[in-house]
Amino acid sequence: MRIIVGTIIGIILISVIVMIFLQNNSEKDYEMIFFTLQGDDVVSSFPIENNWIAGEKMTYVSSIKNGLLVLATSSATDTVFAFNGETGEVIDTFHVGDTPKGVKIRPDANFAFVANEGSDSVTIIDLVLGNIHTEIPVGKSPHNIVFHPTDDLAFVTLQGEDKVAVIDTKIFEMISSIPVKGIPHNLDISPDGNLLYVTSIATNDVAVINLESQQIITRIPVSAGHHGIDVSPDGSRAYVSGIGGDVISVIDTDSQEVISQIKVGKGPHGIRTNSDGYILYVAVTQTNEIVEIDTEKLEIINSLKTGNMPFWIAVPGNT
């Protein structure tokens, strides 16, 4: 009986948060960021500093646009935790496939997709009903996910097959795949939906894919991976971390070339700009800090000390 009541309460809370998002996506006076601390098994936030106790090996994190709902994967317990983004309260937990890594909330906030690296599948969570909608096979070792701006497609890196899977997000089926050699890892998409940027671990570069032709148009060398990547909100740059090095590579998306490398400390991984693109946040895993970079000057302007091993970052205004 308690389990049923708890599930009902979870459904109600998630539904309320999603409805608030859909009805009123107003801006706060400040912009929150959320990040996983893999060494402490928590999710944390800034500028309101809270540590939200979660599961073992918290890996990836995602939020809806107003930050009221935050999801994060516990790769060691095969669980996705759902948090109230203002209070840090655990709203619900979802048991997904084996070794979940990337989690991404669809821009309309109705569904979340979870890449299950150990079970070669993607779990679809219905955020309105608060339950698992379905789980679909996609191929070997899916790692992370990005949505097309239209919401119609999702792209999933398949590390074990050197491919990117393409999922129709309306019928929840894999419809095609794009070959990407070199162990494709993390990825992002241009704001107009024309170009997909995919980092590769084995080749230490970024494959730029024309989505109309589904062909790679160039590969851009970056630092030692594995990598995180974020395309700026205006689409003019792509920022790439490399946990095997100590720099952030800045790619000009007109020339598709690296125009700068910024030293941030050993082991940068999670990376996201704020909603207007003027500040870049970088989670530096070995120095236990989040570095803030001025994206106009390409200089470090601040450093936020964190707990152990900040791994991935979610910015509500830059989903």
User: Dihedrals φ, ψ of 187, to 5°?
Assistant: -155, 160
- Residues 152 and 167: their CA atoms lie apart, in Å, by 8
Q: Which region, left, alpha or beta, applies to residue 172 given φ > 0 means left and ψ of -120 to 50 means alpha?
A: left
Domains of the chain: 1-31+41-179 (2.130.10.10)
Contact 129, 16 (CB under 8 A): no
The predicted pLDDT at position 30 comes to 62
Closest among 220, 215, 214 to 200, alpha carbons compared: 220
H helix runs in the chain, sequence order: 2-23
Backbone φ, ψ for residue 17 (5° rounding): -65, -45
pLDDT in tens, 125-182: 999 999 999 999 999 999 999 999 999 999 999 999 999 999 999 999 999 999 999 9
pTM: 0.92
Encode pLDDT of 176-205 as tens digits.
Answer: 999 999 999 999 999 999 999 999 999 999
Q: What are phi and psi of 81, to 5 degrees?
A: -95, 135
- Residue 256, amino acid: Q
On whether the CB atoms of residues 164 and 180 are closer than 8 A, the answer is yes
Among 197, 230, 229, smallest CA distance to 318 is for: 230
